[in-house]
Structure formats: structure tokens, C-alpha cells
Structure 1
Amino acid sequence: MGCYNVMAVLVNERTSSSKELQDVLTRYGCIISVRLGLHKTGNACSEEGLIILQLCGSLEEIKALEDSLNSIKGVKAKSIELSAE
């Protein structure tokens, strides 16, 4: 199985959703190969950010992660499977 699944996670309410978001990411940590977090910095951290995940797992596990993330208020996740075929 190749690891050609990427998920983008848009977080609109970082402060209020961070604990639940971290809990979900920890629960699915075994299928997350790479996690990259992006947000504006400055005098104060932005309330919105983008997380990019590279995933190595079954399509069922990836779908379960996506559904769990989308159940969090202020979080929107979308996955894509890339293929050379």
C-alpha cells in the first residue's frame, strides 16, 4: 500500500477546538506520516489555520479520521488519494 493520501484540515476556531482536534489526531496518530500546521503569526496567533496531513492507512481509517474531524465545530477536513494510474 502506497502512502499517497493527503488531507487538508481547515481550523476556523483554533482556541475552542484545539483540545478535541488534538484528541482526534492522537487517536489516529498511527496513520499520520506527516503533519504540517500553518497559521498567521505576529503579536497574537490567528484563530484560523491549516493542517496538512500525509496519511498511510486503509481507506476506512482515513474516512473515519475525516468524519471525526468534520464533527468538530469550526473544523473542515477533506482528503484526496493520489495515484500514478
Structure 2
Amino acid sequence: MKPAHVILGVHVTDRLKDAVTVQKVFTEYGSLVKTRLGLHEIGNSPEGIVLLEVVGGQEAWKAMAAKLQAIEGIEVKEMVFSH
């Protein structure tokens, strides 16, 4: 059986306030991140979404998701595509 494709959606409600903290978590778990895509409105919108395609064991990416979720103003959603 092939490993699942896992996408984490990270909603950041205040990019200016939380960018450094979120980036530290991304760096800590950098070996899990296969693809990273940032989406945000041009202009003054403080919100943004980062989509992460992650690899590795479920325990590892769940730990990263939990650490991100613990940051005030951050919401994390998981999409898991199994074969």
C-alpha cells in the first residue's frame, strides 16, 4: 500500500504578529515539508493560508500540526488522501 498524501492547511489570522513564530515551527519540522504554498490577499489583509504537503509518519506531522495549533490565532486542518 502506498503512503497517504497529507496536506495541512494553516490559517494565520494575523500574519504580521505570528509570521516569526509560525516560521520557527516550519523550520523545526522542515524535513517533513515536501511542498509549501502561501496564499494571502494583496494589500492590507492580515490573514493568510499556508498549504503544506507533508511526508513522514503520522506521529511526526501530527506533532507539527499540534504545535502550530497551539499558537493563538492559528487554525490547522488536515486533508489525508489514501490509496
- The answer to whether 1:15 aligns with 2:16 is yes
TM-score between both structures, scaled by the size of structure 2:
0.91
What is the percent sequence identity of the aligned residues? Answer: 33
Please report the RMSD computed on the Cα atoms of aligned residues, expressed in angstroms: 1.3
Shift of 1:3: 5.4
Do the aligned partners of 1:5 and 1:54 also contact (CA within 8 Å) in 2? yes
Unaligned runs of 5+ in 2: none
Aligned length: 82
Do the aligned partners of 1:3 and 1:57 also contact (CA within 8 Å) in 2? no
TM-score between both structures, scaled by the size of structure 1:
0.89
Do the aligned partners of 2:22 and 2:68 also contact (CA within 8 Å) in 1? yes
Shift of 1:16: 0.8
Do the aligned partners of 1:8 and 1:77 also contact (CA within 8 Å) in 2? yes
Q: Distance in 1 between matches of 2:58 and 2:35?
A: 17
Unaligned runs of 5+ in 1: none
Secondary structure in 2 aligned to 1:50?
A: strand
Q: In the alignment, residue 33 of structure 2 is paired with which amino acid?
A: I
Shift of 1:80: 2.2
Q: In the alignment, residue 54 of structure 2 is paired with which amino acid?
A: L
Do the aligned partners of 1:38 and 1:50 also contact (CA within 8 Å) in 2? yes
